[in-house]
Structure 1
């Protein structure tokens, strides 16, 4: 329920939203001091975060949430050489907020372990710390019957969804340990890692997300003594660029995915801001090794 408390606090801070290209941007009508004091343990004052696939979708939502909670800097790591329109619009919105953290963009490939380790080390050295990591990079892969998947199909998905997630978490944890700073690592999993998705044949995606959930548990056990928390977050079907592209190609999935939810709809990316901020902050200091499900009731049937 902690994320509901945070949302209530944010409402009292009078957040008004506008939408541009599917990304919800926000303006806070209060002073930076009031923002930080009002958030209490949810505040991320002066903290530094990295977010993979921070150019759009849930990665960008995490970056926005952390900036509004007072982060010093959120580094959005993604594959394109230059950030897209959504990211630029988000950065401009954040820049107008007094006391909000910086949004920075860094081009990198989560599949390249050596490059990622170096990139994250350079960020931590520049900022003098590393506090939060969100591994949002992921691909769905081709949708086809399990009997038809090739080795190449599996390798493509696992390289991003499994290896890329671990490489990013590992890189961040190394810097948290280096600076002896308590850290929080949030691995983006999915309900697809816990249940089979009705009429949605994406075996490599499902198995990769199941692995991410287990990865969070194992890393949490190993890193607890270093005061680094690791949790996985399993959203249901959210209106991200990935799901929107699938629905554009297969419109029937809109109804298939919606009808499984008690709310009979897909989630909005901004509806995950609260839980991501909670997991990143001291408000969740006793939470590690957990898989948090936010799915509109999809898996409760």
Structure 2
């Protein structure tokens, strides 16, 4: 049961039948004439508000654009005080949409490891928009060192961003969902490295942090389910981004090695996560919570 006062997703109590129920209703009414398919309507995020951490570039920016293309107003949080050229190009692109969607950068920069700063920034968005529907925790860092000599400060830095930072975003967005009593979707970006070990890479801190994100999503999903707040994680495989480029651009042989580690024989592109992001953020996935969605080119399938 939904907790009293919380609004169910439109697809839970639809105003009109959908799917097979719609076809049966049409047969019962013996109606004729053109019928408008409803499938794509379920992916619409028109009028909804989303927050994306790590939204200045890379996967975060790709995901922010995905939400905007579905009609949402999107607020990007990231560490730089001002957004980069890539972000500004995407922002101008979205301004050309005729849908009411928008992409805004939370000025001054937001450090996801600072809980109060994150809570305050997202609360201000809530004050402005008077609703909150989607949260994507995409900020993350990668650092490697031999496990037996891993410096404590470097290990803690990875955990602070990749674990604490994800929790802070989930908390901040979830608080606003609770505040406005709306159903919502929290999407935590994990990694296939949370459930496997990357062959020949000493990434004990990164792998540990991503495993923690998987459990965080499951735990929050169980806790927040009664409030109709869904929590899922996405585990990308080897995707060519600005973060992985730091390794790959200086080691061409590593690029080929990573590409050969999955059945498709190539690295993924950031845009290949758009579909799963749109699905999890929308009413098309209202019975999905506590799940991890692998997008790894089949890396796990060998």
Larger Rg computed on CA atoms: 2
- Normalised to the residue count of structure 1, the TM-score between the two structures is 0.86
In the alignment, structure 1 residue 246 sits paired with structure 2 residue 247: yes
Which residue of 111, 114, 118 maps to 1:112? 114
- Normalising by structure 2, report the TM-score: 0.85
Q: Counterparts of 2:41 and 2:96 in 1: how far apart (Å)?
A: 22
3-state DSSP of counterpart to 1:230: strand
Secondary structure of 1:51's counterpart equals strand
Shift of residue 122 of structure 1?
A: 0.5
Alignment CA distance shift 1:266-1:100 (3 Å): farther
Q: How does 1:130-279 map to 2 (within 5 A)?
A: 130-141=132-143, 143-279=144-280
Structure 2 residue matching 1:207: 3-state secondary structure: helix
How many residue pairs match? The answer is 264
Q: Are 1:198 and 1:256, in contact at CA under 8 Å, matched by a contact in 2?
A: no
Instruction: Flag structure 2 segments of 5+ consecutive residues without an equivalent.
Output: 1-36
- C-alpha change, 1:89 and 1:38, in structure 2 (3 Å) is farther
1: distance between equivalents of 2:260 and 2:202? Answer: 17
Whole-angstrom distance in 2 between the partners of 1:283 and 1:218: 22
Alpha-carbon offset, residue 37 of structure 1: 6.9
Partner of 1:17: none
State the shift of 1:248 in Å: 2.1
Q: CA deviation at 1:56?
A: 0.4
- Distance in 2 separating the partners of 1:298 and 1:285: 27
Unmatched 5+ stretches in structure 1 = 1-35
Q: Does structure 2 conserve the Cα–Cα contact (< 8 Å) formed by 1:74 and 1:103?
A: yes
Give the structure 2 partner of residue 19 of structure 1.
none
Tell me which protein shows more strand as a share of its residues.
1
Q: Aligned partners of 1:38 and 1:298: how far apart in 2?
A: 30
Q: CA RMSD in A?
A: 1.2
